Amino acid sequence: MAPPAVVGHGARTLPAVTVDTYNEELRDDEGFVGDRASGRAFRAILDDWREKVSDALGEDPFGDTPTREISKSKLDKALGSDDTVAAGLVHTAVEEFAGELATVVRRFLRLEGWRGTERIVVGGGLSSSHMGQLAMGRAQIILAGEGIAVDLKPIGNHPDEAGLIGAVQLAPSWVLAGHDAIVAVDIGGTNLRVGIVELRMKKGDVSKAAVWKLQHWRHRDDKPSRDQAVERLAEMAAGLMERAVDAKLKVAPFVGVGCPGLIDEHGAILKGGQNLPGNWEEGGFKLAAALAGRLPRIEGHEPAVILHNDAVVQGLSEVPAMTDVTRWGVLTIGTGLGNARFTNRPQE
């Protein structure tokens, strides 16, 4: 099937891949299966083991610091430290989390849309840490021991940038032609990022695309309303557009947006936006239109705002690295567990 001349919101056929499925919400008796391999799940496991160690040994190697406030870098440092209790504590949490990750991967691979998956890219903040990569490797070994051959690898781009870089794969080639950059937005349950992505395009090839500038807002700390969040997002985008113009970058009239949930063809979030501030699933609210109405014109044109699931967009950043496989997927470990499965399309 040929890709459409103009890619729509939540499109399944994109220039480089077919999106076989995304935003799968697997459930078991305890709730959403994906929640077992989320960032929250890892923190809960670590918190549980901290309590057990403290009860048994009379002290906690991390003192009174709440688990949610211990940075990934501090946990990585503890993992490789000479403090055997601290290292053992983190390693034990990683081992338990790896088992949960293996369980989640196993469940996804049973789905019709995920069958035949050769590689799974793991994104999100945890993927860039040593402990996250150790959990991936351990999960892959667990699966291999069960005869399940699937390659688990951390996302290649920085997790803060992957959800922006992938937006270039949403744009049809005619939109990008003659331009240097696009505006990209990555909306998550905790953070919101807006960036200018340089295309670095040669003969239609955008494999070298990279983030030029980005702004980050941890909206969970400010607890904004939905409209306040969209307004702040538009302000961030407008400011970055102005900086790009000052730097003589020719910005395309295109804004690619990654957002949690199931996206319909009108640019609305049908479900899966429960972690966002306010009600983003409200009937009649179309995020794409709400954002487009707040953005300035680019070179006299109203920018086309294209919305897709955030795990899809983050996964699309890996398109240049997936030429050696045909069927591949992405799991993003964040506030929840995002997911998407792709099949590469033949390229002329």
Two tokens at 146?
Answer: 């069960």
Specify if 20 maps to a domain. no
Answer whether residue 173 is part of any domain: yes
CB 156 within 8 A of CB 317: yes
Same domain, 176 and 232: yes
Measured CA distances, 113 to 33, 77, 307 (Å): 17, 39, 22
The predicted structure's pLDDT at residue 207: 87
Residues 6+ apart with CB under 8 A from 152: 105, 119, 120, 122, 136, 137, 139, 140, 143
Compute the radius of gyration of the chain from its Cα atoms.
Answer: 21
Domain of 131 in residue numbering reads as: 27-154
| pTM for this model (two decimals) | 0.90
Q: Is the pLDDT of residue 204 over 80?
A: no
| Chosen domain end from 93, 124, 154 | 154
Would you state the pLDDT for residue 28?
73
| Alpha helices (runs of H) in 146-273, residue ranges in sequence order | 159-165, 173-176, 219-222, 226-246
Mean pLDDT of the chain: 91
Percent of the chain with pLDDT over 70: 97
How many residues in total does the chain contain?
A: 348
pLDDT band at 5 (very low <50, low <70, confident <90, very high): low
Residues 186 and 194: their CA atoms lie apart, in Å, by 6
Whether residue 288 sits in one domain with residue 221: yes
Q: Which residue has the tokens 């997911």?
A: 339
Q: What is the mean pLDDT of residues 265-291?
A: 91
- Classify residue 208: in a domain, yes or no: yes
My answer on whether 211 and 126 are in the same domain is no
Residue 243 shares a structural domain with residue 180: yes
Q: Residue 195 gets which letter from DSSP?
A: E
Which burial class, exposed, middle or buried, applies to 190 when counting CB atoms under 10 A from its CB (0-12, 13-18, 19+)? middle
Strands 31-32 and 181-187 come out as unpaired
Q: Are residues 150 and 183 in the same domain?
A: no
Give the model's pLDDT for residue 7: 73
CB atoms within 10 A of CB 147: 6
The reply to whether 344 falls in a domain is no
Q: Pinpoint the alpha helices (H) of 62-165.
A: 72-79, 84-109, 130-145, 159-165
Q: Is the predicted pLDDT of residue 172 greater than 90, yes or no?
A: no
Mean predicted confidence (pLDDT) in 147-170: 94
Question: Are 149 and 186 in the same domain?
Answer: no
pLDDT per position as a tens digit, 23-54: 988 877 676 677 788 888 999 999 999 999 99
Cα–Cα distances (Å) from 318 to 27, 293, 342, in that order, read: 28, 31, 11
Task: Please tell me the total count of domains within the chain.
Answer: 2
State how far the Cα of 268 lies from the Cα of 309, in Å rounded to an integer. Answer: 11
Specify whether the CB–CB gap between 53 and 85 falls below 8 A.
yes
Residues 60 and 144 occupy one common structural domain? yes
Which residues contact residue 215 at a Cβ distance below 8 angstroms, ignoring those fewer than 6 apart?
193, 194, 195, 236, 239, 240
Tell whether 61 is covered by a domain: yes
- Do residues 172 and 137 share a domain? no
31-45, 177-191, 238-252, 282-296 — which is least confidently predicted? 31-45
297 with 163, same domain: the answer is yes
Is the residue at 224 inside a domain? yes
**Which CATH number do you get for residue 41?**
3.30.420
**Within this chain, do residues 150 and 200 fall inside the same structural domain, yes or no?**
no
Residue 79 lies in a domain: yes
Last residue of a domain, one of 109, 126, 154: 154
Q: Residue 263 to residues 10, 11, 24, 286: CA-CA distances in angstroms?
A: 5, 9, 12, 10
Query: Does 166 share its domain with 284?
Result: yes
Which CATH number belongs to the domain containing residue 267 in this structure? 3.30.420.40
Q: Which residues pair with 263 in a beta bridge?
A: 269
Q: How confident is the model at residue 1 (pLDDT cuts 50, 70, 90)?
A: low
CB 150 within 8 A of CB 331: no
**Same domain membership, residue 305 and residue 245:** yes
Query: Degrees (nearest 5) of the Cα angle 310, 312, 318?
Result: 115
- In a domain, residue 167? The reply is yes
For residues 202-230, give the mean pLDDT. 92
Does position 4 have pLDDT exceeding 70, yes or no?
no
Of the residues 154, 174, 197, which one is the last residue of a structural domain? 154
> Tens digits of per-residue pLDDT, 306-342?
999 999 999 999 999 999 999 999 999 877 788 999 9
Query: In the structure encoding, which two tokens stand for residue 287, read together?
Result: 């995020």
Q: Looking at 67-71, 146-150, 202-206, 250-254, which range is the least confident one?
A: 202-206
> With 70 as the cut, is the pLDDT of residue 6 above it?
no
What pLDDT sits at residue 348? 63
Cα–Cα distance measured from residue 42 to residue 335, given in angstroms and rounded to the nearest whole number: 11
Rounded to an integer, the average pLDDT of 142-166 is: 94
